[in-house]
Amino acid sequence: MHGGAGAVGLAALQCARARGARVIATAGTETKRAMLRSLGAWHVLDSRSLGFVPRVRELTEGRPTSASTRC
């Protein structure tokens, strides 16, 4: 979930966690990343660095990720 600390990201995080999903989220500041961790994000990465891209590939073992459109 890129930009997970915004209003839509937070709602999506809650929905995904309620469905048992492991969420990988990004946020631009350490404060926002800490908030995402406290809300149950599985991994939280820095959205202000492109370093999150290879890390997501590593965490997912290169498999595509999926998201549900229904909560």
Higher pLDDT, 70 or 64: 64
> Tens of pLDDT along 2-35?
888 999 999 999 999 999 999 999 999 999 999 9
Q: Where are the domains of the chain?
A: 7-60
* Paired tokens of 70: 């229904």
Q: Chain-centre distance of CA 9, in angstroms?
A: 8
**Residue 50, SS3?**
coil
pTM for the complete prediction? 0.81
* Paired tokens of 27: 């946020």
